[in-house]
Amino acid sequence: MASVTKSTRTKIKSSSHRHWVPYISIMDRYLSNEMVAPFLFGVGAFSSIALVIGSLFELVRLITDAGLGIVTALQIFALQLPQFMMYSFPMSVLLGTLISYSRLSTDGETTALRSSGVSPYRLVVPALVLSLFISGMTFLFSEVVVPSANWQAKTILKSALKQDNPQFKSKDIFYQQYGEVIQPNGGKEQSLIRSFYARRFDGTKMLGLTILDFSQGTLQQVLSAESAVWLPDRNVWDLENGTTYLIGTDGSYRSILRFDRQQLRLPRAPLDLANEQRNSAEMNISELANHIELVRASGNYKEVKKLEVSLQQKYALPFICVVFAMVGSPLGMRPQRTSAARGFGLSILIIFGYYLLLFICGALGQVEILSAIAAAWLPNLIGLGAGLFLLSRVQ
């Protein structure tokens, strides 16, 4: 009796454990396995095409014309591979769903499943689940691997070609500081309070510095200095060999003061701008958000709008996988046969149309016709709408 009780308890415990394990039906496993092979084929095919067009031709040209070493070229080629793989993931989802669901439809398997009471909406669930997983993988690539790899590839290439150090901007450092300015009527208004310009930067020292002070609403003084160094322990700029021109209310010079050395408590932002030479493809979301705030403080609102669209696209682009799964599945369920070659060609057309829409929306976001969020996410919403329409036609 005790042994029976023990066995029963074991079964109950096992049954309770299985209750918390997600159940994957045979149909879901079968459909998922069907999509894996064409997906992997797509990753290889699309990555290879993108690498040849976007990287290999240029590297071969640099080897023959600029004397770039073969070993260095191979290193750069390997570092650029993650970016092209990231772009190939959504395309491969589209190809995988098109080919796999087309084969199932051609062999009559989708008809058999539907006659058993399985709706087309249920049939696309495995594709959507797989696409969500690939979306997460794409997001991790874009956040962890791609920015660092792109930055290293750029640094190695610049160093090999003996070009300017990409670690900082070496000339024409321009920064505008905005803040509250007291108006003649006593009110306050956001306006330019200081303009900062350095002709050159050697990595630590600003050279040929000019500062215009508008803190009282009009130009109050002009300061020029031979050099300036940021002192982080005091949070001040240390200026050497300079002149301060005090401006009167009528625009004439009120006095001229020369100095050998002077310390001013001004923002550190000009130094940060000079040291930040990465583009949005070489930064993750956190770094790009910080860079946007830095550019916003400089008053370059056109660049801010462009960067905000890029930031939202970093969130939106991984979900292209879900969009393409939603479009590719019902297209594959159509009764006509779609071969691998035809599926590849159809995928190219859909991808071209989607990225054209993405480019147009991004441009509209940069000129402020669309908000940054709408510019990044509108192509996804249109794609999902198209997928639902196609699925309703299959139903």
**pLDDT of the residue at 232:** 85
Q: Which residues face 178 on adjacent strands?
A: 192
The string of pLDDT tens digits covering residues 8-41 is 344 434 444 444 445 677 887 888 888 888 888 8
> Taking the CB of residue 12, how many other CB atoms lie within 10 A of it?
10
Between CA 71 and CA 64 the distance in angstroms is 14
Query: Burial of 251 by CB count in 10 Å (0-12 exposed, 13-18 middle, 19+ buried)?
Result: exposed
The string of pLDDT tens digits covering residues 52-91 is 787 888 888 888 877 788 888 888 888 888 888 888 899 8
> Taking the CB of residue 80, how many other CB atoms lie within 10 A of it?
24
Residue identified by tokens 């040291």 is 275
Asked whether residue 338 carries a pLDDT value surpassing 80, the answer given is no
- Tell me which residue of 83, 76, 58 sits closest to 282, measured CA to CA: 83
pLDDT top residue among 128 and 120: 128
- Tell me which residue of 384, 365, 381, 385 sits closest to 373, measured CA to CA: 365
What would you report as the CA-atom Rg of the chain, rounded to the nearest whole angstrom? 30
H or E stretch at 95? helix 70-106
The string of pLDDT tens digits covering residues 187-207 is 677 777 888 888 888 878 888
- Is the distance from CB of 222 to CB of 212 less than 8 angstroms? yes
What are the extents of the domains in the chain? 23-167+277-395, 171-268
SS3 content of the chain, % helix, strand, coil (to 5): 65, 20, 20
Which pLDDT band holds residue 253 (cuts at 50, 70, 90)? confident
The string of pLDDT tens digits covering residues 98-125 is 888 888 887 788 778 778 877 888 888 8
Which pLDDT band holds residue 263 (cuts at 50, 70, 90)? confident
- Is the distance from CB of 301 to CB of 276 less than 8 angstroms? no
Q: What DSSP state is assigned to residue 250?
A: T
**pLDDT of the residue at 357:** 92
User: What are the distances in angstroms from CA 253 to CA 197, 216, 262?
Assistant: 21, 16, 21
Asked whether residue 269 carries a pLDDT value surpassing 90, the answer given is no
CA dihedral 176, 180, 182, 187 (to 10 degrees): 140
Asked whether residue 374 carries a pLDDT value surpassing 90, the answer given is yes
Query: What is the torsional sign of CA 234, 237, 240, 242?
Result: negative
